[in-house]
């Protein structure tokens, strides 16, 4: 049985435990000057690493602007990201950054861009990975989930393109799989490439096809959440979690690379069950770490966490300083 404190080796990187900080957005953070990233981000991710998190995945960062050092890739932003990566690693965490493509508009129609425009986005995806490597990150996670651009490229119902990026499962994944050899060539054998995706795109069979295609192309890890729509598929009566977590268990049975299981994991008991039952290789924690950056350390020690209160409207979308759970957080004594 997998235990929380078991290490996990990915591309030569030893993740010290099975708790991953998911790439949840810090909407109310302010950057430094005109830059998107700043000291608030440095403190946030450094504290999560200091709090014992084995794998830290930075929030979704749009690759747009990477070719011109603009938007989230200004020199100032890159300096901040470099500091985050160094700080997280100094605390013993493996650190990655999630890369998004095509902006945050879920209404986007992936059938409209020309082949050349998609190829330009591929170049942005490639360059962002190379930048992440140069800045000291151990890997990248591409955001093929939650109804955004890459998610719809992967989804057979959304993607009706008749060029090399549409049609079968191989073509729908091509926007990433074509550039993986180039990433490997430029970054070496120890750089982690992961994908965040759903299991239903729109069917389980097609989700499995995509997962296997990514694995065959050299993806090292899958972070399984939901795709265009939140899953409403029934789960077995004896399965102790909801449909998103069940999605991860489905994919784990079909691939040989590590799978992160997610959704509403906020207690030691939940994480132990997820891992010991073999539903996932790692437990992805989002709001639990937002509420308590020392979540991992407390869980490992069997201490009570400052639990997310599941507020009707999460303050991390508006003003994180008002998070009632975070207000109670204190640094554990060592």
For 223-259, what is each residue's pLDDT tens digit?
999 999 999 888 999 999 999 999 999 999 999 999 9
- 212 falls in which pLDDT band (50, 70, 90)? very high
- 328 falls in which pLDDT band (50, 70, 90)? low
> Is 328 or 299 the better-scoring residue by pLDDT?
299
- 134 falls in which pLDDT band (50, 70, 90)? very high
Place of tokens 């050899």: 181
**pTM for this model (two decimals):** 0.96
* Cβ-proximal residues to 332 (8 Å cutoff; 6+ apart), any chain: 294, 297, 298, 301, 303
What's the rounded mean pLDDT across residues 314-331? 80
Q: What is the mean pLDDT of the chain?
A: 95
Place of tokens 């490639």: 126
- 333 falls in which pLDDT band (50, 70, 90)? low
195 pLDDT exceeds 80? Answer: yes
């Amino acid at each position: 049985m997998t235990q929380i404190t078991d290490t996990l080796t990915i591309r030569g990187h030893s993740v010290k435990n099975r708790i991953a900080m998911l790439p949840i957005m810090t909407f109310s953070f302010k950057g430094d000057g005109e830059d998107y990233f700043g000291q608030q981000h440095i403190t946030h991710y450094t504290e999560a690493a200091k709090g014992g998190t084995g794998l830290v995945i930075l929030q979704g960062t749009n690759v747009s602007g990477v070719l011109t050092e603009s938007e989230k890739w200004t020199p100032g932003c890159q300096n901040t990201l470099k500091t985050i990566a160094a700080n997280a690693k100094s605390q013993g965490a493996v650190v990655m950054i999630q890369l998004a493509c095509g902006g945050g508009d879920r209404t986007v129609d992936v059938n409209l861009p020309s082949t050349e425009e998609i190829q330009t986005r591929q170049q942005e995806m490639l360059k962002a990975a190379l930048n992440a490597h140069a800045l000291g990150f151990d890997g990248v996670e591409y955001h093929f989930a939650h109804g955004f651009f890459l998610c719809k490229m992967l989804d057979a119902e959304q993607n009706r393109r008749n060029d090399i990026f549409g049609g079968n499962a191989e073509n729908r994944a091509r926007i990433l799989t074509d550039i993986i050899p180039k990433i490997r060539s430029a970054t070496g054998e120890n750089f982690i490439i992961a994908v965040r995706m759903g299991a239903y795109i729109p069917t389980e069979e097609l989700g499995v096809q995509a997962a296997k295609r990514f694995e065959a192309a050299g993806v090292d890890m899958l972070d399984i959440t939901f795709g265009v729509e939140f899953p409403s598929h029934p789960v077995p009566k004896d399965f102790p979690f909801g449909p998103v977590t069940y999605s991860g268990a489905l994919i784990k049975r079909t691939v040989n690379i590590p799978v992160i299981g997610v959704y509403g994991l906020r207690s030691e008991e939940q994480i132990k069950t997820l891992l010991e039952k073999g539903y996932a290789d790692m437990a992805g924690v989002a709001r639990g770490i937002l509420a308590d950056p020392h979540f991992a350390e407390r869980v490992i020690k069997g201490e009570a966490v400052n639990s997310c209160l599941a507020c009707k409207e999460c303050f991390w979308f508006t003003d994180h300083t008002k998070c009632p759970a975070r207000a109670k957080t204190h640094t554990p004594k060592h």
